[in-house]
Amino acid sequence: MILNKIKKTTLVLITILSLTILSGCSKEEVVSNEEFKNISTSELQSNLDNDSWVIVDTRINDAYNGWALDGVSRGGHILNAVDFSANWLKVENKDKEETLEKALETKGINKDKNIVLYDSNGTDAKEVANYLHKKGYENLYIYNVNEWAKDESLPMESYDNYEMLVPAEIVKEVVDGNIPDTFKDSKNIKIVEASWGEESEAYSKGHVPTSVHINTDTIEPPPAWMLASDEELTKFALDYGFTKDDTIIVTGPDVMASYRVAVVLRYIGVSDVRVLNGGNDAWVSAGYELETKSNEKTPGTDFGTTIPANPDLIVTIPELKEELKNDDSILVDNRSWDEYIGKISGYSYHDKKGRIPGAVYGYAGTTSVTLEDYRNIDNTMRNANEIKALWDKAGIDTNKELIFMCGSGWRAAEVLAYANVMGYENSKLYSDGWIGWSNDTSNPTETGEPTK
């Protein structure tokens, strides 16, 4: 009898071990859904302002920003919720764990807090819960935001201009010819892909279906790579058949290039310009396929107005000199700290180092081609509260006119777009940046850390 019990116990242990090995998971990784408590709407509401609780939106960032996705009746996020998207867990890069750990710390997602993880599809919250559970988090709760969104009396918040950043799901509807409500007033929707080079290698490898390639050299011709003249931009608009009444969605493998092209399209006067949030990676992450066939542009004959129709969006050097005399304007320098203090130029083709006197360091990234201070790990827009915290730390008064600059306009164009999404519409781009300014040796410059 005792021997039989031992054999049965051994068999059970072997079976459990075998299932664990076959599933590719360790014992700690095997977490049943029952281990995560569900929380009611009333209990969540009662702890909305409780510092010992943190509410986390685990959906894609477009839903957090304001888009009503997955059948949720209201877009945006629960008041005071932070974001930690399950999509971030799918990203692969060498600094992934360090980046995610930093995000948890920044958002106050600590092990000593009660953590409510919510989604709308029944999977995102559990994926994040499993991730946190493996890291030793215990007080985890699951919630379906559909319940909250259905009650109009419960507070949700969205970014003022969240529509400027479009989720892959909405772009897919456009590609398929199913025009979503947010585009119901659009007369002509076009999708373009922005990247460097003629029919660039990136475009040939794959792009969002129907997208027409735009070589960034067209809007900023070499060798100076400064903004093209009004005449050149007029030719660019006609070559692509753009009109002022178009709705244009800009995509691409490098989101920075997309924002650069998008701000130029706004400058020439296209009335509705949007960017695929997260670029081509967001498209692939959503489960959609890229196409490789080339899509030809269709030239036009009339843009519909004189270019530029929105000249105030971009500041020239003479205009900047006047703005620097104005106490109601702030020049925000979106370069790396080493570029800002004049330790490096940041560019292989430009050797002058330093900054424009009066420019305030506005954060960016570690190099001239990165912008990690403003992006999530999946290259989507970072939480607006966190961006605002950076500006507050730098002493940037957002009640004033914000003029963003970088080396040549790419990084600053992206930051300008985020500022507009957040509702700071009194913002501009100094497009020529440090390179344009320092190329004229008569312009004053300075180096070193600024004095208080």
Give per-residue pLDDT as tens, 169-221. 999 999 999 988 888 888 899 999 999 988 777 898 999 999 999 999 999 99
Q: What is the pLDDT of residue 364?
A: 98
Q: How far apart are CA 84 and CA 107, in angstroms?
A: 8
189 DSSP β-pair partners: 247
Give per-residue pLDDT as tens, 351-405. 999 999 999 999 999 999 999 999 999 999 999 999 999 999 999 999 999 999 9
Give per-residue pLDDT as tens, 61-104. 999 999 999 999 999 999 999 999 999 999 998 999 999 999 99
291 DSSP β-pair partners: 207
Give per-residue pLDDT as tens, 130-158. 999 999 999 999 999 999 999 999 999 99
Give per-residue pLDDT as tens, 307-335. 999 999 999 999 999 999 999 999 999 99
Q: What is the pLDDT of residue 17?
A: 35
Q: Where are the beta strands (DSSP E) in 219-303?
A: 246-251, 272-276
Instruction: Give the sheet arrangement for strand 272-276, strand by strand.
Output: 165-166, 272-276, 246-251, 188-195, 212-215
Q: Does residue 71 sit in helix, strand or coil?
A: coil
Residues 6+ positions from 382 with CB-CB distance below 8 Å: 373, 374, 375, 376, 418
Q: How far apart are CA 28 and CA 31, in angstroms?
A: 7
Residues 6+ positions from 81 with CB-CB distance below 8 Å: 55, 56, 57, 64, 118
Q: How far apart are CA 294 and CA 200, in angstroms?
A: 11
pLDDT class of 31 with cuts at 50, 70, 90: very low
Give helix then strand counts, H and E, for the chain: 16, 17
With vertex at residue 57, the alpha carbon angle to CA 113 and CA 288, rounded to the nearest 5 degrees, is 145
Give per-residue pLDDT as tens, 106-123. 999 999 999 999 999 999
Relative orientation angle of helices 410-422 and 255-268, to the nearest 10 degrees? 70
DSSP character for 347?
B
pLDDT class of 11 with cuts at 50, 70, 90: very low
Residue environment code for 190-229, b if the CB has 16+ CB neighbours within 10 A, otherwise e: bbbbbbbeeebebbeebbbbbbbbbbbebbbeeeebbbbe
* Predicted TM-score of the model (pTM): 0.91
403 DSSP β-pair partners: 331, 428
Query: Looking at the annotation, which residues are catalytic?
Result: 406
Q: How far apart are CA 395 and CA 402, in angstroms?
A: 12
Q: What is the pLDDT of residue 199?
A: 72
Q: How far apart are CA 341 and CA 219, in angstroms?
A: 29
Q: What is the pLDDT of residue 34?
A: 46
Please report the domains of the chain, with CATH numbers, ordered by start residue: 20-157 (3.40.250.10), 162-300 (3.40.250.10), 312-438 (3.40.250.10)
Placement of tokens 């050097």 in the chain: 317
- Pairing mode, strands 188-195 and 212-215: parallel
Relative orientation angle of helices 230-239 and 255-268, to the nearest 10 degrees? 100
Q: What is the mean pLDDT of the chain?
A: 92
Predicted confidence (pLDDT) at residue 10 exceeds the cutoff of 70: no
Q: How far apart are CA 407 and CA 412, in angstroms?
A: 8
